């Protein structure tokens, strides 16, 4: 696998107490922005006292000034190599499907998402669909913020921003936002005062959760282009660590009982490294960006967070823009938009970009064929048609032009296995799966590959840097639907007690 071409999967439930961002925990000097092409290493002034910071500095800030021209040139070469690598990893994305060659340039499809600063005041214990309903009713008093500005001070009252926590329901666009932020930095368009942007996916960190690493070796593992950087380099650069998908992590973060470290070469478990980074014990000047679904965001103490943002998804005008951009047939896009507006549940769910994609697949299939059936108006109808569309595509790929109206026994067996996986992991709060999870539910990896017409768009595989596979359903709601189908099947079988 080309480690620099890891494509995006579909991004990534339900409650978070209202904890406002608390400023003033740590005071950091703001760095001066630099012109593109200027030397990054010589422009970040960290020689002055750290203000009111109570954190110990892990290393001297004077190393850059004493750096020899050859060293400086070598490090600049490392940074440029990292930018090239990051650009390759972020410039292509997949929307729904993850088949080879299906990637699209992010900049050609990216639609600016509606992101706000802060979060709702009430304790939210509702299902994510209900959260979307509430979100759709929120008014213009919310403070919008652009993705590229989340670390910028927007008012005189605000202290310097070190840790940002971004919330959002599954599939609303958090991972796309991370990719867009990273790509803009790598292309020299935004946030050029940051020396290194370092995305670390929690689904990938899961693969080494039982291993011991230092922060330096962790960077070497996940960003091989940084093999030449030294511990002292990390202390003189302005770094941004991005932990995408906290809700997908399978390690717990203990902020109360953990070993405190300040040495980037000290070897510990990954969860302890993360806690020390977030608290500011390790590299206290480093910026931290964490994305999560609301249910998992409570793992981060409010005292550690300087700004909370929320990705709201598409506005009404952005929904229409999505469908007009997707379909060259103007009449078809108008009919689809009109149908969505007529269905309250579909219209609300289309706040989520991934749901727009699912809706587009189903309605395009139904509207471009001579079909007399009624168009789906409920979520259950839509998901049922979505499954049938994918199975028909599988039949066309492996069985000629046959377009059966009913499921074969093999199709039913596969869907029930996926349903079992969906149900058992909903109970555990998991939306990411690994090969061992599939095997426990009777799913063989080769079987999943054979049924790629179903699995790549209902059930996705992502190859990560370790050349292992990570699986997920195309969206949490699809996982929930299959889990419900599985339980209904078990309940209606006379020999099964639920």
Residues 450-473: tens digit of each pLDDT: 554 445 555 555 555 566 777 888
Please say if the pLDDT value at position 124 is more than 70: no
The CA R_g of the chain, rounded to the nearest whole Å, is 24
Taken as a whole, the chain contains a residue count of: 498
pLDDT band at 399 (very low <50, low <70, confident <90, very high): low
| Predicted confidence (pLDDT) per residue in 382-394, tens digit | 999 988 888 777 6
> Which of 246, 258, 342 shows the shortest CA–CA distance to 288?
246
Where b means 16+ CB within 10 Å and e means fewer, 84-101 reads: ebbbebbbbbbbbbbeee
Which pLDDT score is estimated for 93?
77
Output the 3-class SS for the chain. CCHHHCCCCCCCCCCECCCCCCCCCCCCCCCCCCCCCCCHHHCCCCCCCCCCCCCCCCCCCCCCCCCCHHHHHHHHHHHHHHHHHHHHHHCEECCCCCCCCCCEEHHHHCCCCEEEECCCCCCECCCHHHHHHHHHCCCCCCEECCHHHCCCCCCCCCCCCCEEEEECCCCCCHHHHHHHHHHHHHCCCCCCCCCEEEEEEHHHHHHHCCCEECHHHHHHHHCHHHCCCCHHHHHHCCEEEEEECHHHCCCCCCCCCCCCCCCCCCCEEHHHHHHHHHHCCCCCCCEEEEEECHHHHCCCCHHHCCEEEEEEECCHHHHHHHHHHHCCCHHHHHHHHHHHHHCHHHHHHCCCHHHHHHHHHHHHHHHCCCCCCCCCCCHHHHHHHHHHHHHHHHHHHHHCCCCCCCCCHHHHHHHHHHHHHHHHHHHHCCCCECHHHHHHCCCCHHHHHHCHHHHHHHEEEEECCCCCEEEEECCHHHHHHHHHHHHHHHHHCCCCCC
Which pLDDT score is estimated for 19?
37
Own/partner long-range contacts of 37-46 (Cβ < 8 Å, ≥24 apart): 39/72, 39/76, 40/76, 40/79, 40/192, 40/195, 40/237, 41/67, 41/72, 41/75, 41/76, 41/195, 41/236, 41/237, 42/72, 43/193, 44/193, 44/195, 44/236, 44/237, 44/238, 46/236, 46/285
Residue 173: CA atoms inside 13 Å, Cβ hemisphere, count?
A: 26
Residue 23: CA atoms inside 13 Å, Cβ hemisphere, count?
A: 13
| Domain residue ranges in the chain | 3-313, 407-498
| pLDDT, mean of residues 328-340 | 93
What is the rounded distance in angstroms from the CA atom of residue 291 to the CA atom of residue 407?
Answer: 39
The CATH fold assigned to 407-498 is Arc Repressor Mutant, subunit A (1.10.10)
Q: How large a percentage of the chain has pLDDT more than 90?
A: 39
Which pLDDT score is estimated for 402?
53
- Minimum mean pLDDT range among 206-220, 252-266, 435-449: 435-449
Which pLDDT score is estimated for 66?
54
Question: What class is the 3-313 domain?
Answer: alpha beta
Which pLDDT score is estimated for 157?
65
Helix 409-428 vs helix 476-492: angle between axes, to the nearest 10 degrees?
A: 110
Cβ atoms of 202 and 160 closer than 8 Å: no
The pair of structure tokens assigned to 162 is: 């070190």
Please say if the pLDDT value at position 369 is more than 50: yes
Distance of CA 490 to the CA centre of its chain: 33
| Predicted confidence (pLDDT) per residue in 20-58, tens digit | 333 333 333 333 333 333 333 333 333 333 333 333 333
Helix 476-492 vs helix 379-399: angle between axes, to the nearest 10 degrees?
A: 90
Q: Select the more confidently predicted residue: 42 or 175.
A: 175
| Predicted confidence (pLDDT) per residue in 282-327, tens digit | 999 999 999 999 888 889 999 999 999 999 999 999 899 889 888 8
| Predicted confidence (pLDDT) per residue in 69-113, tens digit | 666 777 889 999 999 999 999 998 766 554 444 567 888 778 788
Residue 229: CA atoms inside 13 Å, Cβ hemisphere, count?
A: 31
| pLDDT, mean of residues 417-424 | 92
């Amino acid at each position: 696998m080309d480690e620099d071409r890891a494509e995006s999967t579909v991004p990534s439930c339900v409650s978070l107490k209202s904890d406002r961002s608390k400023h003033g925990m740590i005071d950091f000097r703001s760095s001066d922005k630099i012109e593109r092409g200027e030397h990054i290493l010589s422009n970040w002034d960290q020689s002055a006292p750290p203000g009111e910071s109570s954190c110990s500095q892990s290393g001297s800030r004077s190393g850059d000034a004493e750096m020899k021209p050859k060293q400086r040139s070598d490090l600049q070469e490392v940074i440029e190599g990292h930018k090239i690598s990051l650009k390759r990893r972020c410039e292509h994305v997949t929307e729904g499907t993850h088949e080879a060659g299906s990637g699209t340039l992010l900049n050609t499809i990216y639609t600016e998402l509606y992101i706000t600063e802060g979060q709702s005041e009430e304790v939210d214990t509702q299902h994510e669909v209900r959260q979307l309903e509430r979100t759709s009713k929120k008014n213009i008093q919310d403070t919008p913020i652009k993705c590229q500005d989340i670390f910028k001070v927007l008012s005189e009252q605000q202290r310097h921003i070190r840790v940002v926590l971004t919330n959002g329901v599954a599939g609303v666009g958090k991972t796309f936002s991370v990719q867009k932020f990273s790509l803009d930095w790598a292309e020299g368009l935004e946030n050029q005062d940051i020396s290194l942007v370092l995305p670390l996916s929690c689904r990938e960190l899961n693969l080494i959760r039982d291993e011991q690493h230092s922060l330096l070796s962790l960077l070497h593992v996940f960003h091989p282009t940084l093999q030449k950087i030294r511990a002292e380099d990390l202390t003189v650069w302005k770094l941004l660590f991005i932990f995408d998908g906290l809700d997908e992590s399978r390690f717990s973060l203990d902020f109360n009982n953990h070993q405190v470290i300040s040495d980037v070469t000290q070897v510990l478990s990954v969860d302890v490294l993360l806690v020390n980074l977030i608290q500011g014990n390790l590299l206290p000047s480093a910026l931290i960006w964490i994305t999560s679904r609301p249910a998992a965001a409570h793992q981060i103490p409010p005292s550690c967070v300087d700004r909370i943002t929320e990705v709201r998804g598409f506005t009404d005008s952005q929904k229409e823009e999505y469908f007009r951009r997707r379909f060259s047939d103007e009449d078809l896009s108008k009919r689809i938009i009109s149908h969505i507006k007529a269905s309250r549940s579909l219209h609300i769910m289309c706040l989520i970009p991934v749901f727009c994609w699912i809706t587009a697949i189903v309605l395009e299939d139904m509207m471009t064929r001579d079909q007399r059936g009624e168009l789906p108006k409920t979520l259950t109808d839509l998901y049922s048609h979505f499954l049938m569309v994918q199975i028909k595509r599988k039949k066309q790929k492996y069985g000629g032009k046959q377009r059966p109206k009913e499921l074969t026994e093999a199709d039913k067996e596969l869907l029930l296995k996926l349903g079992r996986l969906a149900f058992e992991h909903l109970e555990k709060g998991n939306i990411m799966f690994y090969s061992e999870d599939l095997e426990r539910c009777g799913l063989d990896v080769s079987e999943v590959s054979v049924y790629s017409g179903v699995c790549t768009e209902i059930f996705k595989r992502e190859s990560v840097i370790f050349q292992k596979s990570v699986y997920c359903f195309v969206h949490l709601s699809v996982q929930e639907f299959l889990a419900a189908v599985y339980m209904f099947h078990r309940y209606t079988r006379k020999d099964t007690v639920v």
